[in-house]
């Protein structure tokens, strides 16, 4: 009887460890995805800011006539 109790306890602990490992792995993957999305948004914002600056520069220094 003692051996069965010990065996079941070890099995329970092993399954619990596997579940926790899965949870932490999923949390890490989610965090990495969020970090990636944040970096992508910053890159997009930087590009939009650069385009805005270029557009304003072209507007300020545009010629009153078009060059052929």
Per-residue pLDDT, 59: 78
Per-residue pLDDT, 2: 62
The CA distance from 23 to 40, in Å, is 26
**pLDDT, tens digit, 9 for 90 and up, residues 19-68:** 999 898 899 999 999 999 999 999 999 999 998 888 888 777 765 555 44
Per-residue pLDDT, 4: 77
Q: What is 5-59 written as a DSSP string?
A: HHHHHHHHHHHHHHHHHHHHHHHHHHHHHHHHHHHHHHHHHHHHHHHHHHHHHHH
Per-residue pLDDT, 58: 77
The encoded tokens of residue 28 equal 């890490």
pTM of the model: 0.56
The CA distance from 55 to 64, in Å, is 16
């Amino acid at each position: 009887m003692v051996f069965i109790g010990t065996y079941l306890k070890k099995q329970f602990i092993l399954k619990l460890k596997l579940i926790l490992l899965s949870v932490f792995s999923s949390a890490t993957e989610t965090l990495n995805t969020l970090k990636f999305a944040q970096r992508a948004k910053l890159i997009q914002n930087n590009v939009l800011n650069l385009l805005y600056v270029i557009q304003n520069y072209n507007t300020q220094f545009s010629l009153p006539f078009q060059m052929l």
